[in-house]
């Protein structure tokens, strides 16, 4: 892998580093909003005392800490492959460009020695997964890879209850930040009550430290609800999601194309409001992620 000098130096010194994915750049938002958001997320992490490490694959090589020019290229370039665990050896061997999903970013972050990873929302069990078995590889990765993921829960297009059941089966601790309800991505109110509520970055850091010291392998999910002022109206977003799901079914959208299609369609159906909420929740996660990384580096 290739690591930026800034990230390499921070890791050597034991300073806080936060991993970021690249799928959100190449498949999650339109250009130039995707690049602007990526740079703003990096700035938010820096402003809160940590070093950002945006991860992507360039010419078959994992890059830990992409440069602004590389992030710009990821935002503009067409045909960048969306990469999960199964795709990594193919992309490596064929020297392709690849945008890392949550699963692939966790793998690369773990290889680099980065504990904290910030994203918008993780993948999970799609609605009807008990019949289709359409379940994101993100859940498998959370079950076995030693990285803590901070997100606004899971993507709202998914079956939240089924996703949480799978995470429980895989032994993944799910922490809810300052809320007794599971974060619902675009809104704060999923109606799903949470057992493990944490109220400070230090509390999260102590749990991560205990997990690693006791060699309890696997990841951890911190669900960080979107701030109330940026949350969408429940009825508006749920109506858009249902309509987008119906459109995907009618158009025969399958596999890894489903999530990008649904997110893009929801943006269109909400007149861009869902995109703005998405950006705000990612920035909110970046702020928390940096604080947790900072606390973790101090107590280690």
Residue 256 has pLDDT above 80, yes or no: no
- Measured from the Cβ of residue 1, the count of other Cβ atoms closer than 10 Å reads 11
pLDDT value of position 255: 76
Task: Please check the confidence at residue 27 and state whether its pLDDT lies above 90.
Answer: no
Q: Tally the domains of the chain.
A: 1
Which residues belong to the active site? 21, 155
Residue 127: give its domain's CATH number: 3.40.1790.10
Calculate the average pLDDT of the chain.
Answer: 95
> Which residue did the predictor score with more confidence, 249 or 113?
113
**What is the DSSP code string of the chain?**
-EE-HHHHHHHHHT--EEEE-SHHHHTSS-TTHHHHHHHHHHHHHHHTT-EEEEEEEETTEEEES--HHHHHHHHH-S-PEEE-GGGHHHHHHHT--EEE-HHHHHHHHHHHT--EEE-S-B--BBTTHHHH--B-HHHHHHHHS--EEEESBB-TTB-HHHHHHHHHHTT--EEEES-SB--BTTBS----B-S-EE-SHHHHHHHHHHHHHTT--S-EEEE-PPPGGGPPPHHHHHHHHHHHHHHHHHTT--GGGHHHHHHHHHHHHTTTHHHHHHHHHHHHHHHHHHHHHHHHHHH-
Alpha-carbon distances, residue 181 vs 42, 57, 63, 153, 185 (angstroms): 28, 36, 36, 10, 12
- Does residue 232 have a pLDDT over 90? yes
pLDDT band at residue 189, thresholds of 50, 70 and 90?
confident
pLDDT in tens, 65-107: 999 999 999 999 999 999 999 999 999 999 999 999 999 999 9
pTM exceeds 0.85 = yes
Tell me which residue range forms the domain holding 8.
2-299
Q: Could you tell me what percent of the chain has a pLDDT over 90?
A: 86
User: What is the structure's pLDDT at 132?
Assistant: 82
| Residue 257: predicted pLDDT | 82
């Amino acid at each position: 892998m290739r690591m930026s000098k800034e990230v390499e130096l921070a890791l050597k010194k034991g300073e806080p580093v936060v991993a970021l994915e690249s799928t959100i750049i190449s498949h999650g938002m339109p250009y130039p909003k995707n690049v602007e958001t990526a740079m703003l997320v990096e700035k938010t992490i820096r402003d809160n005392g940590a070093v950002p490490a945006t991860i992507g694959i360039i010419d078959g090589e994992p890059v830990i800490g992409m440069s602004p020019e590389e992030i710009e290229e990821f935002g503009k370039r067409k045909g960048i492959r969306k990469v999960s665990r199964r795709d990594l050896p193919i992309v490596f061997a064929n020297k392709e460009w690849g945008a890392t999903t949550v699963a692939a970013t966790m793998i690369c972050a773990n290889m680099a020695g980065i504990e904290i990873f910030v994203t918008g929302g993780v993948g999970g069990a799609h609605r009807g997964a008990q019949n289709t078995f359409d379940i994101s590889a993100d859940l498998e990765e959370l079950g076995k890879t030693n990285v803590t993921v901070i997100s606004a829960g899971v993507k709202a297009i998914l079956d939240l209850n089924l996703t949480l059941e799978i995470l429980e089966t895989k032994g993944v601790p799910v922490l809810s930040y300052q809320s007794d309800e599971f974060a619902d991505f675009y809104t704060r109110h999923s109606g799903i009550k949470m057992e493990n509520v944490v109220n400070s970055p230090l509390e999260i850091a102590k749990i991560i430290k205990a997990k690693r010291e006791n060699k309890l392998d696997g990841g951890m999910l911190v669900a960080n609800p979107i701030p109330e002022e940026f949350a969408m109206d429940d009825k508006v977003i749920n109506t858009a999601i249902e309509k987008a799901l119906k459109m995907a079914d009618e158009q025969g959208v399958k596999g890894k194309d489903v999530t990008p299609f649904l997110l893009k369609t929801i943006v269109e159906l909400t007149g861009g409001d869902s995109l703005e909420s998405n950006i705000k929740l990612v920035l909110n996660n970046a702020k928390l992620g940096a604080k947790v990384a900072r606390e973790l580096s101090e107590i280690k």
